[in-house]
Amino acid sequence: MKKRGEKIVMLTAYDYPTARLVEEAGVPLILVGDSLGMVVLGYDSTIPVTMEEMLHHVKAVVRGTRRAHIVADMPFMSYQASSQEALHNAGRMLKEGGAQSVKLEGGLRVAETVRLLVEAGIPVMGHLGLTPQSINQFGGYRVQGKTPAAAVKLLNDAVALEQAGAYAIVLETVPTQLAMVITERVSIPTIGIGAGPRCDGQVQVLHDMLGLFIDFLPKHAKRYANLAETIIEAVRQYAGEVKEERFPTERESFIMDESVFSEMSHLA
């Protein structure tokens, strides 16, 4: 797709029904992101997300898809301690979860881990820029690569990931110009989120674009629907009909044959 100049569309999904809908809409890459910690599980960051939680959601997404390529996020501390632990956990994502590849954060510092996974037959997507698992180190959710030194480091990190065998790189919250330079420098696809339009593709969090996550809307996100309002209104309507005895009606009820009811009444 990169060679053809065809933009790559990627979107998150975290469960069976949304995965089915995202694939039905024609999205070729689905990311089961550790962002589920915030938009599904209610954590204040991605840090608390565990391997077991990720596997639970990866399995559900895989069951809901037939054609899309499923990328599983490696959660915090599932790959940082050692390359062997990373290999074991990444293997679980494919063997138990059913994903086709994994995504992990970091550049040069994780290059050897990436190489080990790829050599073991596990495709790896990289992730540079604002890497949410490092927010405590960054001091919050801030744009990365704003200084010359930081920009050069990110460029070198991208090259290191490509050389290690990564098949694509997510660029999150980096200046548009830097994302463009990285995209031109590496032969593998770049997928942006808050990285401008010059990346080879784009990824967004499903709950942001559909208006399902109402705590806040990141600057890089565009809301294509406001399903939170739709859901709230639907639930209010249901509650009102129950209170006013307008639901259920005969249409939503099951009726016993009168002869059976009569016989039951006599027996009772």
Measure the CA–CA gap between 180 and 157, rounded to whole angstroms: 15
Burial-class residue 66 by CB neighbours within 10 Å (0-12, 13-18, 19+): exposed
Q: Which residues contact 265 (CB under 8 A, 6 or more apart)?
A: none
Determine which one of 6, 172, 233, 245 is catalytic: 172
Q: Which residues contact 155 (CB under 8 A, 6 or more apart)?
A: 178, 181, 182, 185
- Catalytic residue list contains 162: no
Long-range contacts of 220-223 (CB under 8 A, 24+ apart): 220/173, 220/193, 220/194, 220/195
Please choose, from the candidates 220, 213, 171, 194, the residue with its C-alpha nearest in 3D space to the C-alpha of residue 44: 213
Site of tokens 């994302």 = 179
- The two counts, helices (H) then strands (E), for the chain are 11, 8
Catalytic residue numbers read 172
